[in-house]
Amino acid sequence: MKFLSTLQRFLIPIVILVIFGPLFMAQREFSQEMRNVDLFAQGRAESLKRLLTVSEHLMMDQVQASMRLLKEVGIDQQGAPRINGEAVVLGRKVPALYLGNQPQTINFAVVDHVTAIMGGTATLFVKTGEDFVRVATNVRQNGETQRAVGTMLDPQGKAIQAIRNGAPFYGVVDILGTPYITGYEPMFDANHQVIGIWYVGFKVDIQALREAVESTKLLQSGFAAVLDANRHIRFLSKHVLEKTAEQIIKQQDPDWTLTRQQIPEWGFEVVVAYPTSEAHNVSLTRSSNILLIFLALGLVLIALVIFLMRRFVLRPLGGDPVVATELVRNISAGNLAEDGIEADEGTLMANMLKMRQNLRSMVETLHQNAERLSLSASVFEHAHDAIFIADPHARVIEVNPSFIKITGYAREEASGQDVQALLAPEHDAESFSEVWQAVEDKGMWRGETWLSGKHGTVFAAWLDIFAVRDERGVVRRYVGVFSDITPLMEQQQKLERMAYHDALTQLPNRALFSDRLQQALAHIDRNGGLLAVSYFDLDGFKPINDTLGHEAGDQLLIQLAQRLRTSLRAGDTVARLGGDEFALLLCGLQSREEAGQTLERLLAIISAPYQIQEVTVYVSASAGITLSPPDDANPDILLRHADQAMYTAKLSGKNRYHVFDPEHDRQARAQHEALAAIKYALDQGQFRLYYQPKVNMRSGKVIGSEALIRWLHPEDGLRPPAEFLPYVEDTDLSIELGEWVIHEALKQLARWQEEGLGIQVSVNITAHHLMQPDFAQRLKELLDEFPQVPPRLLELEITESAALEDIGVISDLIDHCHTLGVTFALDDFGAGYSSLTYLRRLPVDILKIDQSFVRDMLLDPNDMAIVAGVISLSLEFGRRVIAEGVETAEHGMKLLAMNCELAQGYGIARPMPAEAFLPWVKTFNPDARWAEAYTDMLIPR
C-alpha cells in the first residue's frame, strides 16, 4: 500500500496537468481563432477605406492644378472679377459676373477651355444674397444632356461653410448625387469682397471599390457593404441580398459581429459583418482537434512516467521513498539508534543502513577518547607559548617546556606555587592582582601585562587566563597561556620612531611636528598663552650639495640638527620637513619680542661655519614666523603662513626673518574674493550704467552726461562704485570692466540717436586701462561696432594721477585717440599735484573741477580761490571747464559769475537709469536765477 500511495502522490499532479493542460490549450486556440476572424474583418474594412483615401490623394494634385489653370484663364487672360448690373438665368435675376470686360453669365468659354485641357468639371458661381448660383458650368443634369446653369450650391454642404468664411475648400463633395474630388476657392472683387466661387472637380472612379466590395466574403455568410451619407447601401457583396444586409446593419443584429470604418471626407462608412455562430463553429472545430492531440500525448506521458519511476527510482532505491526519507532525517538529526528497517542487498537504502551502523561505531569511539584528546600531550609539550595549569586555589599543578624556557623555573620549582606569587613582578604586583581578580569575576582575562621570571627579570607578555568549569559550573582548573612580547615591543618602538623622526638627523618629522603643534594649540586654547611657529630654509645649501656631494650635504644637516637640538628649550620642537627645510615650534612665550630674539639667536647659530670633509663651509637661513594668537588658524595653515613669511624674508635679502601679518593676509583674501565676485557679476550681467546730466547753466541746455557704473547685486540691491571699484584698481579686471562701460555707453548713444537725442557721454578710464599698449586699437574696434554713433559724442575722463603716470606716453595716446574723433577730460582737476607745465603739455579738451572744492567754495575762501584759479587757467590754456558738485542754485550763480557755464551735480540731477534720462531731458527747467545771474554779469556796472 505504501508503494502504491507513493506512486499515486507522484502521478496526481501529472494527471491533473494532462487533463487541464489540453483544456487550457483548446480554450486558448478557440480565443485566438475568434480574434483572427475579427482581425480579418477589421483588415478588410481598412483596405476598403484605403481604396477611397488613395483615390482622393491621387486626384487632389490634379484638382489643384485645374484650379490654378481656371484662375489663370479667368483672371490673367480675361481680367479681374467684378459685378456689373444684373443678368437673368432661367428666369431668375442674378448679379452679372464679369471677368474684365467679358460677361460670364451663360458664357462657357472659360470653363470649357479649362476642362478641355485638364478634364473633369469647372464652374463659375455668382453670389446672390447668401446663396451661390452656377452661371457658367459644364456640370450636366437631366440625364447629362443639359448644363446645370442656374442651380445653386448646396447651402448645407461642406464647401459653402468655408467659402462664407473667405477660405478655400478642397475635398470630396456629392454633386447632384455623384461623388467628386473638388476644389472651391472664393472669388474676390477689387474691394476684396466675396462675389462668387471658382470651382473645379473630378468625378471619382469607384469601380475598383465596387469590385472589391462585391468580391468580399467572410466565412460562409459574412459580407461587406459601403454606406453613403444618407445611410443607403452604395456597394454590397454579391452573395447577399441588399434587403438582408440593410436589416442586419440598421437593426444591429446581436447574432452578427459588425466592424465599421468611417470615411469622413466622403461621408461614407465601410461595414464588414459576419455571423458570430459561424466564427464559433470554425474556432470550436480547430480547438477540438488541439484537445484530442494533447490528451493523447498526455496518456503517453503518464505511461512513460510510470515506467521510468519503476525502472529508475523505486527499484534502485530498494524500498518505499517515504521510509527512505525518514531514515535520512533520523541520521541527519543524530539519531543513530536501531529501528528494525530492512532493505534489499545492493540498493541505496541498504547502503544507508550500513553507513548508520558505521557512524554509530565512530561516535562511541569519539566519546571514549574525548577527555584524553582534550589534554593532548603533543599540543601541550610542543606549544611555542608558555602554558600553566592551576587548581581552583590558583596553585600551579603543571607547566609546559615553553613556560620553563621563558620564566627559568623548573617544573618542580613551579609546581604548588601560587600563580600570583610566582609571576607577579615586584614593581607592579598590584596590576597583576587586578588581572587575577578579573579572572575570578568573569572567568577569563586577556591582554598585555608585565610578568617576572625566576631571577627577577621582568618582561612584557601577552597573557590569556581562563577558568575551566565542570557541568555544574564549578571551577575545576585555571589555564594560562602567555608569550614574551618584549622583542615585538622593541621593534614597535623602533618603527614608531622611524615613523615620527627624520632618518638622517633624528629630528622629529612633519607628522610628529603637526601632532605637537596640535597639542600646543589645544593647551593655549584651554590655558591661554602664546606660541610661535617658524619655517626656515637654508641659503647656500644647494651649491655645497652640488660641489662637495650629497654626503657632505648630509653631514652639514646632521651638524645643523645637533646645533638646533642643543640650542632650544626642553618644551620647544625643531623638525626637519624635507631637504633643507625645517620647522620650529616655540611654546610658552611671554611676548612677541621673545620669539624674535630666539629666531635671531638661531639664525646666528645656523650661520656659524661648518667643518665638512676638512673644508669650512657657510650657510645661512631665511625664516618666517607666525604667532598664535593673533593667528588663530589650524596647524596646517599656521605652517603655511610661516612658509609665506619665509619667502618674504628670502625675497628681502636672506639671512633674516619675517613675521606673518594675519591682517594683511585677510586683506589679500578679501581682495581676491572681491575680484572673483566682481568678475562673476560682470559675466552674469549684474552691472548697470547710470547717467548724470551735464548742463549749460547759461543756455539751460543739456549738453551731455557722465556714465557711472552701478552694481545691481541680487541680494544687496544697488551698490555704488565706491564699494567695488577700489578692488579692481591696477588689475586686469579694470580693463575688462572699462571696455564693458565703453561698449554699453556706445550702445546707449546709438539708442538715443534713434530717439533724436544727440548728446555727449563721458566714461571714466583707469590709469591701468589707459596704459595698455592696445588701448587705442581696442577703442577703435569698439567705435567701429557702432558706426551710427559719431565718435565726438564719446568723451574719456582720466584722473590727474593717471595723466601724470607717464605724461609723454599719455600725451601721445590722447593725440592718437583724437584722430579717432573722441575727446578727453581731465577729471578731479585741482586735487592732484600737476604743474602748469604738465597742463600745457597734456592735450585734454576739458577740465573738470574737483567736486570737493566746488561743494565747499561758498563757505571756504581757499576753495573759492582754487575754483577761480582753475577757471582762469582753463581760459588761459584754451580749455573748456566744467564744475562737479553743484548742489544748490547758489553754487551755479557763483560759477556763472566766474565765467564757468558748464556744471553737473546733485543740484541739477542725481545719476539715473538710461530709460529715465530722456524723459528727464524733456522736462528739465534750469533755475531762473542762473539766467538772471548771467544777464547781470553782462550789464555794465
Distances (CA, A) of 262 to 49, 132, 228, 266, 638: 8, 30, 10, 9, 86
The CATH number covering residue 568 comes to 3.30.70.270
| Predicted pLDDT of residue 165 | 85
Q: Does residue 123 register a pLDDT over 80?
A: yes
Q: pLDDT tens digit string along 174-201?
A: 766 667 788 999 999 989 999 999 999 8
Output the average pLDDT for the chain.
84
Residue 249 is assigned to a structural domain of this protein: no
Residue of 230, 191, 209 lying closest to 83 (CA atoms):
191
**Mean pLDDT along residues 274-291:** 72
> How many domains would you assign to the chain?
4
Report yes or no on 112 lying in a domain: yes
How much is the pLDDT for 4? 47
**Do both 118 and 187 map to the same domain?**
yes
**What pLDDT was estimated at residue 334?**
65
pLDDT tops 50 at residue 941 = no
Residue 651: predicted pLDDT:
82
925 plus 829 within the same structural domain = yes
Q: Does residue 291 sit within a domain?
A: no
End-of-domain residue from the set 594, 626, 660? 660
Bigger pLDDT: 228 or 642?
A: 642
pLDDT tens column, 562-610: 999 999 988 899 999 988 999 999 998 898 899 999 999 999 999 999 9
Q: Is residue 41 part of a domain?
A: no
| Whether residue 938 has pLDDT greater than 60 | no
Do 749 and 867 reside in the same domain of the chain? Answer: yes
Beta strands in 746-903 (DSSP E): 760-765, 794-799, 823-829, 846-849, 880-883, 902-903
* pLDDT band with cut points at 50, 70 and 90 for residue 814: very high
Q: Which tens digit of pLDDT belongs to each residue from 395-434?
A: 998 999 988 888 888 888 888 888 877 777 765 667 777 8
Domain membership of residue 85 (yes or no) is yes
Model confidence over 691-729: pLDDT tens digits?
A: 999 999 999 999 999 999 999 999 989 998 888 888 888
At residue 1, the pLDDT reads 39
The total of other beta-carbon atoms located within 10 Å of residue 291's CB is 18
Residue 380 resides in a domain = no
Please report the pLDDT score of residue 311 as a whole number.
65
Helix 662-683 vs helix 732-754: crossing angle, to nearest 10: 30
Residues 748 and 894 in one domain: yes
Residue 804 has pLDDT above 70, yes or no: no
Here the CATH number for the domain that contains residue 132 is: 3.30.450.20
pLDDT at res. 2: 45
Nearest to 412 by CA among 375, 454, 470, 475: 454
**Tens digit of pLDDT for each residue in 517-554?**
999 999 998 988 899 999 999 999 999 988 889 999 99
Strands 620-628 and 657-659: parallel
For the chain, percent of residues with pLDDT exceeding 90: 35
Co-location of 778 and 868 in the same domain? yes
Quick one: average pLDDT of 474-484?
A: 89
| Residue 254 in domain | no
What is the tens place of the pLDDT at every residue in 205-254?
666 667 777 777 777 778 888 777 667 777 778 878 877 777 777 777 77
For residues 745 and 829, membership in a common domain is answered with yes
The answer to whether residues 781 and 873 belong to one domain is yes
The pLDDT, as a whole number, for residue 705 is 97
User: Quick one: pLDDT at residue 878?
Assistant: 87
Report the pLDDT value the prediction gives residue 838, as an integer from 0 to 100.
60
Do 774 and 849 lie in a common domain?
Answer: yes
pLDDT band at 857 (very low <50, low <70, confident <90, very high): very high
What are the E-state strand segments in 470-594? 475-484, 531-539, 573-578, 581-586
Percent of the chain at pLDDT exceeding 70: 85
What lies within 8 Å, CB to CB, of 166 at 6+ separation is: 186, 194
pLDDT tens, residue by residue, 864-895: 999 999 999 888 888 999 999 999 999 999 99
* C-alpha to C-alpha distances, 852 to 682, 835, 863, nearest whole angstrom: 31, 19, 8
- From 486, 510, 525, the end of a domain falls on 486
Range of the domain at 190: 79-205
Comparing 125-134, 289-298, 623-632, the range with the smallest average pLDDT is 289-298
Domain boundary among 188, 205, 222: 205
- Coil, strand or helix at 907: coil
Q: Choose between 934 and 744: higher pLDDT.
A: 744
Q: Is the pLDDT of residue 21 over 90?
A: no
DSSP state letters, 576-632: EEETTEEEEEE-S-S-HHHHHHHHHHHHHHHHS-EEETTEEE--EEEEEEEEETT--
For residue 905, the domain's CATH number is 3.20.20.450
Instruction: State whether 177 and 86 are in the same domain.
Output: yes
Cβ neighbours around 655 below 10 Å, total: 18
Question: According to the model, what pLDDT value does residue 495 have?
Answer: 78
Say if residue 564 is in the same domain as residue 587: yes
Please report whether residue 56 resides in a domain: no
pLDDT tens track for 27-76: 776 677 777 767 777 777 777 767 666 666 767 788 888 889 888 888 88
Peptide bond into 630 cis (omega under 30): yes
Give CA–CA dist 140/123, Å, rounded.
11
603 lies in the same domain as 696: no
**Residue-level pLDDT at 622:** 93
- Tell me the sheet residues that pair with 270: 226, 261
In a shared domain, residues 686 and 720: yes
